[in-house]
Amino acid sequence: MDQLVNYLYISAILFSLGLFGVITRRNGIAVLMGVELILNAANINFVAFSRFGGMNLSGHVFSLFVIVLAAAEAAVALAIIITIYNSMQTVNVDDASSMKQ
């Protein structure tokens, strides 16, 4: 609990799980959840480093911005997923592969 590395391990696991989600989930919204995991992992890092780096709060501010931007990004991503759903009746990202090579 007072060890930096504990937090870092947790964040590393979260990050890896997030990556895995992004890579493997077919549903666009699930992919988005994976992205949220990645962002949370980074946030844990920021806050943890801030705590063990002399409590300079730029880490906190950074993660604050990340949360805000995550919200914006999620909104836009969902809007895009919804347009895809409207036009293709699916939210599976691997169905959207008409453009390739």
Partner 1 sequence: MDNIYINSSIVILFLPLLAFIIQIFIGKRLPRQGDWVSISAILITLFLAAYMFISMLSQYDPNFKHESSFMWMDLGDFKIQLGFLVDNITIIMLLVVALISSCTHIFSLKYLEGDIRYSRYYAYLGLFTFSMNGIVLANNLVSMYIFWELVGVSSYLLIGHWFEKDSAANAAKKAFLTNRVGDIGFFIGIMTIFTAVGSFAFTDIFEGVAIGSIEGATLTFAGICLFAGAMGKSSQFPLHIWLPDAMEGPTPVSALMHAATMVAAGVYLSVRIFPLMTPDALLFVAYIGGFTALFAAAIALTQNDIKKVLAYSTVSQLGYMILAVGTGVYTAAFFHLLTHAMFKANLFFGSGSVIHSMHHALHKKHDHKTDPQDMRNMGGFKEKMPITFWSMTISTLAIAGVPFFSGFLSKDAILGGTLSFAQQHPQHFLLPMFGFGAAAMTAFYMFRMIFMTFYGKPQMPELYKDIHESPREMTGPLVLLGSLSIFIFYTLPYFNPFSTHGWFTDLVVAKDSFVPGNISAHEIAEHAHHAHMPALVLSLSVAGLGILVAGLMYLKKSLSADAWANNSGPLYKLSLNKFYFDENYDRFLYQPLMKLADKVAYFDWELYDKYFINGFGRITSWLSDISGKFDFDGIDQGLVDGVGRSAKQVGHSLRNIQTGRIQNYILYVLAGAILMIIIQAV
Partner 2 sequence: MSELAFWSVAFVTVASAGMVVFSGQLIYSAIALLFTLLGVAGLYIFLWADFMAGVQVMVYIGGILVLIIFGIMLTHKIVSVKISQSNVQRKLGAVVVGIFLIFLTSSIGDAPWFQMVTTEPSETVRTVGRLLMTKYLLPFEVASILLLGSLIGAAMLSRKEE
Partner 3 sequence: MNNLQSLSLYLPELILTVTVLSAIVFDLFLPKEKSPKVGWLVFGGLILSGMAIWVQKSPTTTLFMDAIVLDPFAQFFKLLIILATLFVIIASQVNSELDGYSQGEYYSLLGILVFGLFLMVSSVDLISVYLSLEVVSIMSFILSGYLKNDKRSNESALKYVIYGAFSSGVMLYGMSLIYGIAGSTNFFEIQNQLVGGGGEYHLIFVIAVVMILVGFGYKISMVPFHFWTPDVYEGAPTTITAFLSVAPKAGGLALFIRFFHQVMGDGVALEGNGFLTTTELPWPQMVAVLAVATMTLGNLVALQQKSIKRMLAYSSIAHAGYMLMALPVLSADGIQSIMIYLVMYLFMNLGAFFVVLYVKNKTGNETFEDYSGLGWKMPILGIVMTVFMVSLTGLPPTAGFIGKFYIFASVIKGGSQFYWLAFFGAFNSVISLYYYFRVVKVMYLEGAKSDIIESPNQPILGLLLATSVPSLFLGIYWQPVIKWVENSFHFFTQIL
Q: Does 87 help bind partner 1 (rule: CB under 8 A)?
A: no
Which residue reads 């989930």 in tokens?
A: 25
Binding mask 29-48 for partner 2 (x = CB under 8 A): xx-xxx-xx--x--xx--xx
Residue 27, strand partner residues: 92
Taking the complex as a whole, the smallest distance from the CB of residue 13 to partner 2 amounts, in Å, to 5
29 binds, among partner 2, partner 3, partner 1, none (CB under 5 to 8 A by kind): partner 2
Q: How far is the CB of 1 from partner 3 (least distance, A)?
A: 18
Q: Exposed, middle or buried by CB within 10 Å (0-12, 13-18, 19+), for 45?
A: buried
Position 94 contacts partner 2 (CB under 8 A) = yes
DSSP 98: S
Q: Cβ of residue 69: shortest distance to partner 1, in angstroms?
A: 20
For 89, the token pair is 């009746």
Q: How far apart are CA 4 and CA 38, in angstroms?
A: 19
Measure the CA–CA gap between 93 and 24, rounded to whole angstroms: 10
| Residues engaged in binding partner 1 (CB under 8 A) | 19, 22-24, 31, 93-94, 96-101
